[in-house]
Amino acid sequence: MDGFRAIKKELENRNISVVAASSDPQDKAADMATISGLPIGFGVNQELIESLGGYWQATRKFAQPAEFLLDPNNKIVQLSYSDGPLARTEAADVIKLVDHLSKA
């Protein structure tokens, strides 16, 4: 999330919105939203993440990371799922992908 905060102006200049959601309760998500400067939803549960094709960590009761890049028509143009701290989408890569798709 720090990467997205660091290039927030560049994202805004390209009309790119970043929204996050968490399995955390509302108070924890609100704290993270304050720190990150990004809107963060809360209460993602097993039913929701599995309906999106994501993974639920049953023993610890949280959704593993999932990232969705939507076009202006809300069509998914990129998505990734992770089962740990590696292979997450980097903020700069979002800009590269949006620039690439804009040329197509």
Pseudo-torsion of CA 48, 58, 28, 88, nearest 10°? -80
The distance of Cα 77 from the centroid of its chain, to the nearest Å, equals 14
56 is written with which tokens?
Answer: 């639920």
- State the average pLDDT over residues 75-95: 85
Among 12-16, 43-47, 51-55, 80-84, which stretch is predicted with the lowest mean pLDDT?
A: 80-84
Contacts of residue 34, Cβ cutoff 8 Å, sequence gap at least 6: none
Confidence at 54, pLDDT banded by 50, 70, 90 = confident
What is the set of domains in the chain, with CATH numbers? Answer: 2-97 (3.40.30.10)
- Does the model's pTM come out above 0.85? no
